[in-house]
Amino acid sequence: MAQQGAQGGRLRRPRGHRRGDAGDRRDPARRLTDRLAAPAGQDAHWRTGEGCPAILSFQITPIGTVRNDRTDVQHTDNWGAVRSTITIDERFGEACLQGLEGFSHVEVLFLFDQFPEHGDYREPRPNRGRSDLPPVGVFAGRGPRRPNRIGVTCCAIESVHGRELTVVGLDAVSGTPVIDLKPTMTEFLPVDVKQPEWVSRLMSEYFRP
């Protein structure tokens, strides 16, 4: 039986896929579609591969677009002073950012739409192809060529006006689709963060002005 997502997208189960027991009426896939539901009229669906469990695929509609003076995706450093304006789609109304002005920072989730995915993620690679850095798995790095090509950056809020949010320090070129915004809250911030020594070398110029 198909399931109904929060936005009307229908989740289709492959033949032979069984629902969990009676106590598990919202299985993990349903919870995922509740949060990342397909837009109305567009279906989320299951796909299967030989020897693989059912995998949920879904579509996300951007909520807005980045505008700034950065256009070269190969210029990967010096984002610290970049000022970007995110214009939210009019379907969310003029009050969609109301209350965000009370926060100092916002987490911006965006799509690396100008980068292709790697064809094979199984082989560890050094970040940026640098020979002085160790090879790491795809989920031990933050590069743009990754599954689903989703980026996330915590940025300082400069101003909020209607559907326009201006931030500083967003590492996304002009025209980048934004898929979500979340206010940065102290309770969500980690403490006692640690990282390998090579990360500081990799990121030494990244957020410099």
Domains in the chain with CATH codes: 3-57 (no CATH), 64-202 (2.40.30.70)
Q: In this predicted structure, what is the pLDDT of residue 12?
A: 43
Higher pLDDT, 55 or 171: 171
**Tokens coding 101:** 């002005």
Run of H or E residues at 28: helix 28-35
20: exposed, middle or buried (Cβ count in 10 Å: 0-12, 13-18, 19+): exposed
Q: Flag whether pLDDT at 69 surpasses 70.
A: yes
Q: What is the mean pLDDT of the chain?
A: 83
Backbone angles phi, psi at 148, to 5 degrees: 70, -10
Instruction: Name, in order, each residue with C-beta under 8 angstroms of 49's C-beta and a sequence gap of 6 or more.
Output: 55
- The pLDDT tens digits of the residues spanning 130-170 come to 999 999 999 999 999 999 999 999 999 999 999 999 999 99
Q: How far, in Å, CA of 124 to CA of 134, rounded?
A: 9
pLDDT digits (tens, 9 = 90+) for 8-22: 334 344 344 444 444
- Quick: pLDDT tens for 80-131: 999 999 999 999 999 999 999 999 999 999 999 998 888 899 999 999 999 9
Cβ atoms of 111 and 176 closer than 8 Å:
yes
